[in-house]
Amino acid sequence: MTGLGPLKKWCFALAALALAAFFCVFGPAWAQSGDDNSSPEAIKKRLQELRVLYKDDHPEIQRYLRALEKAEENEARRKTEKILNERKEQQRNAPGSDGK
């Protein structure tokens, strides 16, 4: 008997499609979308895991690197906004200010 029969080929094709669907649903969607809730630490951890399997030019590594850059920018922006809001609050509460 040479090769796989048609039924076995379909079984392998269906299994491959199911696996691809699983990764599309539960894969790195947050890295592709740039989810604001992803912390840079979590992205760095995932990058370390992926670098065991792939080189830095792999598309998935590149997506995570872009997501990391975006997450770090978002974190820096949040910290800056927090500092500015604290300064405004201090100025409002300072003696001699009219509360504006």
What does the block give as tokens for 18? Answer: 């199911």
What does the block give as tokens for 56? Answer: 């830095």
Q: What is the mean pLDDT of residues 65-74?
A: 95
2: confidence class by pLDDT, cuts 50, 70, 90 = low
Q: Which residue pairs from 55-63 have beta carbons closer than 8 angstroms and sit at least 24 positions apart in sequence?
A: 60/28, 63/28, 63/31, 63/32
> Which residue type does 33 have?
S
pTM: 0.55
Residue 34 has pLDDT above 50, yes or no: no
Say what the pLDDT of residue 69 is: 96
What is the residue-averaged pLDDT of the chain?
Answer: 80
